[in-house]
Structure 1
Amino acid sequence: MKHEPDKAAPVAAPEFLVDLERVDFEAGGKLLLRGITWRLEPGKHWAVLGSNGAGKSTFLRLVRGELWPLPSSRSRRRYTVDGRVTTSPLLFRERTGLVSGELFNEYHRREWDLTSREVVVSGLTGGHLLYHEPSDEQWQRADELLAKLEIGHLAKRRLLSLSLGQGKQVLIARALASRPSLLLLDEPCEGLDSASRRRLLAMLGRVAAGGTQLVYATHRGAELVPGTSHAILLDQGAITLQGPLQEVMDHGGLALAPSPQAALPAPPPPAAQGAFLARVRTEQVNLEHKPVLFDLDWEVLPGQNWLVLGPNGAGKTTLLRLLGGELRPQHGGTLAWFGSTKPRNLQKLRREIGLVSAGLQARHFHRQSGLETVASGISGSVGLRGFLDQAQRDQAVAWLERLGLMDLAQRDITTLSYGQLRKLLITRAMVTGPRLLLLDEPLAGLDSPARAEVNAILARLAAQGTTLVGVTHYPEEMMAYMSHVALLEAGRMVFQGTVRQYLGRQAQPRS
């Protein structure tokens, strides 16, 4: 039975935008939110805190009215729209915007390959696609927002070619296009470099000061939006704490819990000393028929673990796609692996190279269990092909146990949080004991305890001989187990050397 929209009743003055009382929500046979009682009053801006799987993303979707609560005589969900109280979220939803990693994944899943400018202007037309030619005023509004977020240079780029951080910025511009009264953001800063994070937070602070209310989820205390007044702490789908921001923070709203030590299997023997694991020499690499990497002469040797740094749009993700065999250099360039310049079978290569990325995560949207997802890494397929034999099942279970993820083994991955699925995909990448592990923002979407846990896993892998090449916008979180740094700027590798050399370079005064 569904709740029928009630007749809108006039009120003297809006006491709230959203009012939830004892609301439960279930999906996939699992209770994801329970007993939610919360009210969004005018002028308040809320941070939503909690660990992976706590229900933050689901809570944001519930607030917007995208999800329907379990029917109960005890529960109530109300909205104020144009000064009237209603139980229907339909009109309220039109006045809100929601941006999340899942929305970015949705564009990938459905292959909505629009330019960034088209994506932003679609926020004014009520759909994800353009069904008619926008007016000059609408195009102007889109251009203004792209400029406001300082991403005007992405206007003609296809959304599907952008990194997670770039894509989220475009989607934030899209959400702001219709001037919403409420903006809901799920980890808005994930995937952004430090300068872009500062700009985005300052811009969101101005949006909040201008009258648009914000409710956003974050895992990092340094990424609270200026002007945030209140916070809510979720744990296993229930609100454990809510109130003024400082009070919630004082009670450990973003506390770092101890990380369990995972026992890892020994990786296969590394390549002979001196034999490169990956080598790229090329004058140019193209993406969408446009050059994005230039004058590369770089190799990864056994015993090295590389951190790839640079601002958004520098070419970091493209470099990983190149190393993974997904892209090829332009004519005359060379790309080789594991000490041999002979052509490689791509399917066999992918069994020797593990990959974790936002793009790969976007392709995991069909229903399957966590165990099946991990086991699919044995063949390198997206989704399980055929039936699992006992040896493959045991191999996947062993890794899930080692990483403490057996509680996700039988879960349908479509019901998991972004961070929970990310941990499964890291396990999937490790299941074959790869000689080279490519990590594109491996900590994105993870809470503090999970980041510490994954870092401990990666550090042990590095110590045991698996070579890592990782992209991050938070170098301080991964540098302890990395030996070398490659710095990209505008598609060129402007520095490559040891971590010590990089830190010395950064310490030098800039002219």
Structure 2
Amino acid sequence: MALLLVSFEHVTVRHLNRVLFPDLSLRVEPGRHLALVGPSGAGKSALLAALAGQLLLTGGAATYPGLAAAAHQRHPADPLASWRQVVSLVGPRAPFRARPGGSELYYQQRFEATAAEVPTVREYLAATPPAPGVAWTYARVVARLRLEQLQDQPLIQLSNGETKRLRLAKALLRNPLLLLLDNPLAGLDAASRVNFGALLAEVAAAGATVVLATAPAEIPALITHVVELAGGKIRHLRPAADYVPPAPPTPSLPNEAALRALWPPAPPAFTTLVKLENVTVRYGERLILDKLNWEIKPGERWALLGPNGAGKSTVLSLLNGDNPQAYSQKITLFDRRRGTGESIWAIKRRIGYASPELLQYFPGQPTCLQVVASGFADTLGPGRPTPTQLAEARQWLAVLHLAEHAAQPLRQAPASVQRLCLVARALVKNPPLLLLDEPGQGLDAAQQPYFRAVLDVICALSPVALVYVSHHAADIPGSVTRVLELPFNPAPPTRDLAQPPR
């Protein structure tokens, strides 16, 4: 009989001074693939981290017989061989580091990176040589995760979906016996999501057991058992065939009076918010945008669509003043041509921006309240908000049902709370233009419709223009009526949602 991979018997899981699971019992058996489901804050990410050995376990008994045996079998001459060597965790945050001294990368390097500063995809993967005689080789993970054309690309210039594929490739290079995945489908385009189920089947065929945190509606076919979590406890563990996803909760409605007070009606201050004329962007030999034309007027609400790597985040960086290639392009922002003397900060004052990449490089020490208030000055840190600004930031937290997290450090909050805090940071200054890159990623079944309703009320109350990026049609708010769809190369068409493409 195969050994248990992991056995937790009545353990307490802690992080710093917090108890995350007061009495956790769980067994992970070979070939018993688990999906962790539950509302935001239920403990899905914490359970994955506990299984990976990243959290403190006290009391009870935690043993790893199958993992330890496999580690010693692979490394028989190493007296320090550990069960951790056969476990891979792909968590919510990419642990990328720059070359010199191994320091952390920062957000602006995404647009300023050079080969001397930032490792390439090839270097990142080569740092994890595969074990001899195992299934997942460098050539196989590069081909299977569609990374061939990205091998010489600096890590920080990858799209959100490309980063997801890269981190999964690195995890597979360890040839894990236990693969832990935190919300693996978030940020992947439709083609990658379809491919994911087949990839998991290959992972299992190579001998790995999979445990993943996911939405109830996105449980892969490989999964054999579903673990339902709530409030730091395992409520149910049942065969996947017996699991019935809960009915969506009745959406709550935002407080329109509170939103009207936070975003008082005002006439448009500009005629043209955005105008791109034949904009072309390259990184080395890689063509990202090819002669893109696009115009955004006040009150227009756009969905920006396209596969991973099509250039959606690049377009937003041109609008948000982050990308230096904007100066060599014909771009008008807020009735003024770029490069005619306006500062980046003057542009940013008029834009509310949130994205997975911004969250990735946002400092984790500030509290959720400080993060929201930092939107007034567009700082990546606590800044020095006034008492009035802090009061308004608290009101936005309340509107988004995040008031209880105000004093919590950003990185200790649930992933969905972190994302909504960055959205509140984008909203707090009432900008004429909102750029929201996959803002609904990782939100649970109650948070998703409520968040869309908040955006729809704001759009109804004001002439704010909205650019909304998503790989899921169901995530897009009802107030969005226009689409810009980016393919990989040809100039993209624009169309109204009410009009079918020709």
Per the shorter chain, which TM-score range?
0.7 to 0.9
The verdict on how the C-alpha distance between 1:90 and 1:19 changes in structure 2, with shifts beyond 3 A counting, is farther
- SS in structure 2 of the partner of residue 239 of structure 1: strand
**Is 2:83 aligned against 1:98?**
no
- SS in structure 1 of the partner of residue 434 of structure 2: strand
The verdict on how the C-alpha distance between 1:355 and 1:332 changes in structure 2, with shifts beyond 3 A counting, is closer
Query: How far apart are residue 262 of structure 1 and its match?
Result: 2.1
- 2:76 aligned partner: none
Query: How far apart are residue 440 of structure 1 and its match?
Result: 0.8
- 1:242 aligned partner: 237
- SS in structure 1 of the partner of residue 492 of structure 2: strand
Deviation per CA, 1:367-401: give whole Å up to 9, x if none: 12111111111111011223x32211111111111
**Is 2:100 aligned against 1:110?**
no
| In structure 2, C-alpha distance between the alignment counterparts of 1:106 and 1:201, rounded to whole Å | 30
Structure 1 segments unaligned to the other structure (5+ residues): 1-12, 127-134
| In structure 2, C-alpha distance between the alignment counterparts of 1:332 and 1:364, rounded to whole Å | 28
- SS in structure 1 of the partner of residue 379 of structure 2: coil
- SS in structure 2 of the partner of residue 448 of structure 1: coil
The verdict on how the C-alpha distance between 1:330 and 1:322 changes in structure 2, with shifts beyond 3 A counting, is closer
Structure 2 segments unaligned to the other structure (5+ residues): 72-79, 106-116
The verdict on how the C-alpha distance between 1:347 and 1:330 changes in structure 2, with shifts beyond 3 A counting, is closer
**Is 2:467 aligned against 1:469?**
yes
- SS in structure 1 of the partner of residue 349 of structure 2: helix
Residues 350 and 433 in structure 2, CA contact (< 8 A), matched pair in contact too? yes
Output the aligned Cα RMSD.
2.7
The verdict on how the C-alpha distance between 1:266 and 1:456 changes in structure 2, with shifts beyond 3 A counting, is same
Residues 104 and 168 in structure 1, CA contact (< 8 A), matched pair in contact too? no
Return structure 1 stretches of 4+ with deviation > 6 angstroms.
105-109
| In structure 2, C-alpha distance between the alignment counterparts of 1:151 and 1:206, rounded to whole Å | 17
Query: How far apart are residue 331 of structure 1 and its match?
Result: 6.6
* Residue type of the alignment partner of 2:64: Y
| In structure 1, C-alpha distance between the alignment counterparts of 2:391 and 2:421, rounded to whole Å | 16
Residues 121 and 177 in structure 1, CA contact (< 8 A), matched pair in contact too? no
**Greater mean alpha carbon deviation, residues 358-367 or residues 434-443:** 358-367
The verdict on how the C-alpha distance between 1:90 and 1:373 changes in structure 2, with shifts beyond 3 A counting, is farther
Residues 367 and 406 in structure 2, CA contact (< 8 A), matched pair in contact too? yes
Deviation per CA, 1:55-96: give whole Å up to 9, x if none: 111110101112121x33xx111111467599xx97111001
Residues 70 and 83 in structure 2, CA contact (< 8 A), matched pair in contact too? no
**Greater mean alpha carbon deviation, residues 76-85 or residues 457-466:** 76-85
- 1:444 aligned partner: 441
- SS in structure 1 of the partner of residue 309 of structure 2: coil
The verdict on how the C-alpha distance between 1:267 and 1:491 changes in structure 2, with shifts beyond 3 A counting, is farther
| In structure 1, C-alpha distance between the alignment counterparts of 2:85 and 2:3, rounded to whole Å | 20
| In structure 2, C-alpha distance between the alignment counterparts of 1:101 and 1:118, rounded to whole Å | 21
Residues 119 and 171 in structure 1, CA contact (< 8 A), matched pair in contact too? no
**Is 2:28 aligned against 1:40?**
yes
| In structure 2, C-alpha distance between the alignment counterparts of 1:151 and 1:305, rounded to whole Å | 33
The verdict on how the C-alpha distance between 1:29 and 1:298 changes in structure 2, with shifts beyond 3 A counting, is same
Residues 8 and 62 in structure 2, CA contact (< 8 A), matched pair in contact too? yes
**Greater mean alpha carbon deviation, residues 98-107 or residues 59-68:** 98-107
TM-score (norm 2): 0.87
- 1:122 aligned partner: 127
**Greater mean alpha carbon deviation, residues 444-453 or residues 162-171:** 444-453
| In structure 1, C-alpha distance between the alignment counterparts of 2:160 and 2:207, rounded to whole Å | 28
Task: Give 2:319's match in structure 1, choosing from 296, 307, 323.
Answer: 323
- SS in structure 2 of the partner of residue 37 of structure 1: strand
* Residue type of the alignment partner of 2:13: F
| In structure 2, C-alpha distance between the alignment counterparts of 1:90 and 1:231, rounded to whole Å | 31
**Greater mean alpha carbon deviation, residues 345-354 or residues 303-312:** 345-354
Query: How far apart are residue 441 of structure 1 and its match?
Result: 0.7
- 2:432 aligned partner: 435
**Is 2:410 aligned against 1:413?**
yes
The verdict on how the C-alpha distance between 1:83 and 1:175 changes in structure 2, with shifts beyond 3 A counting, is closer
Query: How far apart are residue 496 of structure 1 and its match?
Result: 0.5
Query: How far apart are residue 97 of structure 1 and its match?
Result: 0.9
Task: Give 2:208's match in structure 1, choosing from 206, 209, 212.
Answer: 212
- 1:399 aligned partner: 396
Query: How far apart are residue 468 of structure 1 and its match?
Result: 0.7
Residues 53 and 417 in structure 1, CA contact (< 8 A), matched pair in contact too? yes
| In structure 1, C-alpha distance between the alignment counterparts of 2:490 and 2:11, rounded to whole Å | 52
* Residue type of the alignment partner of 1:160: I
- 1:261 aligned partner: 253
* Residue type of the alignment partner of 2:89: L
Residues 486 and 493 in structure 1, CA contact (< 8 A), matched pair in contact too? no
**Greater mean alpha carbon deviation, residues 16-25 or residues 258-267:** 258-267
| In structure 2, C-alpha distance between the alignment counterparts of 1:52 and 1:243, rounded to whole Å | 20
* Residue type of the alignment partner of 1:225: P
- 1:49 aligned partner: 37
Identity of aligned pairs, percent? 30
Query: How far apart are residue 492 of structure 1 and its match?
Result: 4.2
- 1:77 aligned partner: 62
Query: How far apart are residue 456 of structure 1 and its match?
Result: 1.3
State the number of aligned residues: 472
The verdict on how the C-alpha distance between 1:346 and 1:96 changes in structure 2, with shifts beyond 3 A counting, is same
Residues 306 and 484 in structure 1, CA contact (< 8 A), matched pair in contact too? yes
- SS in structure 2 of the partner of residue 168 of structure 1: helix
- 1:499 aligned partner: 497
Residues 11 and 23 in structure 2, CA contact (< 8 A), matched pair in contact too? yes
